[in-house]
């Protein structure tokens, strides 16, 4: 169980840091309702996303793709990305280096 707080990040979306180290961070993003949005954004970190549960439509750069339970993918540093929740669930993201802005 994580000792980090659950932080609201948008309507029906929250995040919780699960573990961190200066070179790596693991974060759970929980989407509690269909239509919840992970807003388009970019950051200098390389991100790996694992879909623990639910279904999501991601925009990564110019491409759109749907992902469901067990899917995973990598988002390169600086690539604009975001998602729309199609079925409530949880994304587990890993960032390298750590997202200090999440601490």
User: How many angstroms separate the first and last alpha carbons of the chain?
Assistant: 17
Residue 1 lies inside a defined structural domain of this protein:
no
Residue with tokens 């998602």: 83
Residue 17 lies inside a defined structural domain of this protein:
yes
Domain span at 81: 6-102
Predicted pLDDT of residue 63: 97
d(CA 103, CA 85): 25
Task: Please give the share of the chain, as a percent, with pLDDT higher than 90.
Answer: 97
CATH number, domain containing residue 86: 2.60.120.10
d(CA 67, CA 100): 27
Residue 59 lies inside a defined structural domain of this protein:
yes
pTM of the complete model:
0.96
Q: Average per-residue pLDDT in the chain?
A: 97
Please give the tally of structural domains in the chain. Answer: 1
Q: What does the pLDDT look like over 41-87, one tens digit per residue?
A: 999 999 999 999 999 999 999 999 999 999 999 999 999 999 999 99
Predicted pLDDT of residue 2: 80
Residue 40 lies inside a defined structural domain of this protein:
yes
Predicted pLDDT of residue 75: 98
């Amino acid at each position: 169980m994580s000792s980090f707080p659950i932080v609201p990040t948008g309507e029906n979306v929250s995040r919780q840091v699960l573990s961190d180290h200066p070179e790596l961070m693991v974060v759970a993003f929980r989407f509690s309702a269909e239509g919840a949005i992970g807003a388009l954004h970019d950051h200098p970190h390389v991100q790996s996303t694992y879909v623990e549960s639910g279904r999501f439509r991601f925009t990564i750069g110019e491409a759109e793709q749907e992902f469901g339970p067990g899917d995973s993918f990598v988002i390169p540093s600086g690539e604009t990305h975001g998602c729309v929740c199609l079925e409530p669930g949880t994304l587990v993201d890993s960032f390298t280096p750590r997202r200090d802005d999440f601490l």
